[in-house]
Every structure is written in C-alpha cells, then in structure tokens.
Amino acid sequence: MFRKILKRTSFKVNVRYFADGFKRPIATSLDLQDLRQKKLPLVDLFKEEILSKGPMTFSSYMEKSLLHEEHGYYMKKDVFNAKGDFITSPEISQMFGEILGVWIVMFLEKIGMYDEKTRSIRKHEQSTTGKRLSLIEFGPGRGTLMSDVLRVLQQFNLLNGLEINFIEFSPFMRKLQQDNLTKLLRKWDYWMKFEHNPTKKNKMEKFTCEDESKFLSLRWFPMYEHFLHEDFGEFVKTQLGADQNKAPIIVIAHEFFDALPVNIFEYNGVNWCEKLVNISHKPLGQNPFEFFVTQTETENVRKILKPEETFSSEVRKSLKPGFNIEISPKSLVLVNSLSELIAKNDGALLFIDYGEAHGFSNSVRAIRNHKFIEGDTYLAFPGECDLSAYVNFAALEAAARKVPGIKPWPIIPQGLFLESMGMNTRLEYLISRTDSATTKRLESEYLRLVSPDEMGQIYKFQYIGLEKNGEIFPFIDESAQTIHY
C-alpha cells in the first residue's frame, strides 16, 4: 500500500539545509572563548544551590541547563537549524516527515479506522465529539516534522476530525511552532483561531478552526502532565463522561528521549555510588564545576538504579571499579504512562532516537555550533550547549511491558525503516520533477538519512502498540533486526 500512497502524494519540494551530522569537529578553546568571557547566570545559580544543598545530581544539572525557565538552553532561541547548534532529520529532508505520515495512514488502515473508499477516519462509536484521531508530538522542534506529516494526511482527507497535541516546554519554540503550522493550514483553507479562556486556569494553548463545520484542533502543553489533566483528569471525566474523548492516539517522539535527564551511577569495587556535580577545586579561571563521586550508596542508587534487580549475578561478578551507567527515570515513567494511554484508547507509540537496546556509560555529549565539546568541559557552560545521552530502548520496552495488552516490537535502524517504507520510491518521484541541482541535493539528503555510515544505523525506530493489533509494517519480528541493506 505504501508505494501507492507515495505515488499519489504530490506537493512541491521544500529546500532544506543538508548537514554532516555526526561527522562534527571538536570545539577548540577559541570556539569556546566567547563563553568563557561572559557571565553565565546558571553558573552562579548552580553554585548557590550546591553551597546550600550539596553537590547536584547530574540529572538536575542537565534538566536545569536545558529547561531553566529563564536561562535554559531550549528557552532562548531556535537551535534546530543550520545557524543553530545542530540539525535533525526533519530539517534535512521533507521525505522523513512524509514517510512518517504514510506510516500513520497505514496504521489507521490496519486497525480499521481508515476507510479508503470514503477516504476518511471512521468515528469511534463511543465518541461524542468531532474528534476522530489524536496525535501527540513530544519536542516538536520548529514544527517541521508535523508540517510534513500533515501534508500527507491532507492528501488523504484526514485533517477533519484531527486533534494534534504538542508537548513543548519552551514558550519561544511554542510560538514558532504555532506560527509555522497555522500558516501551513491556511493553504488548505483551515483558518485557525486562538481560543482564550480567562476563567480556566490551565497551561493549554489551543487553536481551533474558524469554520465550525470542520473539526481541527491544535493544542500546546508545557508538560505531558498538563495534557493528562486536561483530557483525563477526574473533573473532566465527571463533567463530560469517561468516553467522550474516545479516539485512537498516535504518539511521535523524535529525538526527545535523548534530551531527558539521566542519573549517573559508578561502581567503586565495593558498592554502587552516584556521580554528582560539585563546585570545582581547580584554580580560578578554569571549569567552575567538576564531577564528584559519592563514597557510599545514595537514595537514588536504591530507588533508581536498584542494582540487585538491574544486574544479574554474572554481571555483578564481572563489574570492575570505575564502571558507570546512565539511567533516565523520567523516560521510564513517561513510556509506562503513554502505554497506559493507548491501552485505554487504542493507538501507537513511535519513538525515533539514537541508541541501542541496552544500557550505556559515558554517552552524555554536548554540542554547540555543530561541534562537540570534549570531556567534562561542558560543565562550565550550563544553558549554553545542547546536552543529550544515548537512549536505552530495552529499558523503554520493559517499562511498556508492565501494561497488560501492550507489545513493544524490536527496534529497527532508521535506514531500514525508511527504505522499507519506500523512501527510494518517493525520491524517484521527486527527482523526476526537478532540475539537476535539486536532484543532487535530494540524493544527498536521502543518503544522509538512510546510509549506515551517516544516520541510517545509529538512529533507531521503536514501535509500541496493542498486542491485539498485531504487526504494523515494517515492524514484523525479531528477524527485522538482522536484515542488512
């Protein structure tokens, strides 16, 4: 079916920037000189906190560096482009988001919610609203991924009845996403208006269609908890009925989990300790912060790491002093909650990130101006560089399996997913309608996304769904992990 969809989907090519991705140079002292010369607000704030409460957990350092309401990295500017610090797959090529849009159409058809004859989403029998499908995107960036997805859904008459929820903490990025998406929707005669409700004290920013004969809703929430409270809080259930919002939910999280904070634990040869951030004892003018390893177990070792449960007896015997591991507790809680959500409403979770199906040590990395910052130098620049850590997909799978009826499918490399979904067919269609210069750019973008030497292998796709829905192509079985391309 996907080849038919790809050939039927026709819209003009967007010009996007092509980057070298992981082949980034290392930041030199000269590259960081401007940061060393200016006063960084978070440095003083972190020092005050450490002097008052003791060394910080790395998860606290990471979260505040990225999301501090005033000085956090994501709160101040658009970092998702060639002029920013890094570039993501949706910004590299329009084909990436289009393929995800095709997968959504295929998923809806598989679960019986898409009627190809009428080219519309079937309304859930228990729904009392105009909503027929709910999309949730975590960390929407500039809104580029969802824009490309919507271009596909619009081709199949799937905008009417659609509710899109964006989880975005940064007010700056929310405004950018709203401007880009409402501008796109106007091309299809969906004129969106902001719904202001001064009597309702919630964190939601909502846009609805001016034409009341159409149901299309865009909603922004700073945090996932705000979305849950809005749609599934006890007040909502009491006032409107538990089933009034019944509709399949498809969740997309692209390069989101890698930015969630991690705790770092280290084995000292006797027991597990925690790696914290402390004020540096080095001479003034150097890094104001340094790592500090506790001498004994902390509460986080017992509550988050849980060594007796996490490591088998064989692994515990093989541990050597200095071995460390990173764990993202927020990721596990979120995946478990999302699994509960689709178990009750039907739907799918689609995660795209770099990582593997195992734990990691020393994977935290910092990027500024498309360059890596080596070692722990980045500790000196809270709020000024992107921080991320490799994703343990096996841990996400385990969190999902705790929900009855939920089945996580084996992760597959990004290149395999895109190729299996017919991205080469889409490429052929696009280059048949462009000049030689654009053809060369499109081919470069394609290789950047699918080549194992570029993003094709290091990035993974993970699908988590209801066991009753069975296989959703291209997530088939264990053999999918052994296919080479």
Higher pLDDT, 115 or 129: 115
Q: How confident is the model at residue 317 (pLDDT cuts 50, 70, 90)?
A: confident
Q: For a pLDDT cut of 90, what percent of the chain falls above it?
A: 66
Which range, of 18-22, 149-153, 217-221, 449-453, averages the lowest pLDDT?
18-22
Average of pLDDT values for 267-289? 89
| pLDDT at residue number 7 | 41
Instruction: Please determine, for residue 16, whether its predicted confidence score (pLDDT) is greater than 70.
Output: no
| pLDDT at residue number 237 | 42
Q: How confident is the model at residue 480 (pLDDT cuts 50, 70, 90)?
A: very low
**Highest mean pLDDT of the ranges 84-93, 227-236, 250-259:** 250-259
Q: Which residues of 61-74 are buried (b: 16+ CB within 10 A; e: fewer)?
A: bbbbbbbbeebbbb
pLDDT tens-digit map of 17-52: 223 344 568 888 888 888 888 899 999 999 999 999
| pLDDT at residue number 11 | 37
| pLDDT at residue number 313 | 87
Instruction: Please determine, for residue 348, whether its predicted confidence score (pLDDT) is greater than 60.
Output: yes
Q: How confident is the model at residue 131 (pLDDT cuts 50, 70, 90)?
A: confident
Total Cβ atoms within 10 A of residue 398: 14
| pLDDT at residue number 63 | 97
pLDDT tens-digit map of 144-188: 999 999 999 999 999 999 999 999 999 989 999 999 999 999 999
Model confidence pTM above 0.95: no
Instruction: Please determine, for residue 14, whether its predicted confidence score (pLDDT) is greater than 60.
Output: no
Q: How confident is the model at residue 233 (pLDDT cuts 50, 70, 90)?
A: low
Higher pLDDT, 232 or 64: 64
Structure tokens at 482: 């052994």
Instruction: Please determine, for residue 298, whether its predicted confidence score (pLDDT) is greater than 60.
Output: yes
Q: How confident is the model at residue 200 (pLDDT cuts 50, 70, 90)?
A: low
Degrees to nearest 5, angle at CA 414 with 172 and 259:
35
Give 67-80 as a DSSP string: H-TTT-HHHHS--S
Total Cβ atoms within 10 A of residue 285: 7
Instruction: Please determine, for residue 339, whether its predicted confidence score (pLDDT) is greater than 50.
Output: yes
| Calpha distance 135→137 (Å, rounded) | 7
Structure tokens at 205: 């920013």
Higher pLDDT, 434 or 475: 475
| Calpha distance 69→78 (Å, rounded) | 15
| pLDDT at residue number 1 | 46
| pLDDT at residue number 114 | 79
Residue 371: strand pairing partners? 368
| pLDDT at residue number 483 | 40
Beta 406-408 vs 459-466: how paired, if at all?
A: antiparallel
Mean pLDDT of the chain: 86
Average of pLDDT values for 265-276? 95
- Give the count of alpha carbons within 13 A of 468, CB side only: 10
Which range, of 41-50, 110-119, 233-242, 358-367, averages the lowest pLDDT?
233-242
pLDDT tens-digit map of 72-87: 998 876 666 555 556 7
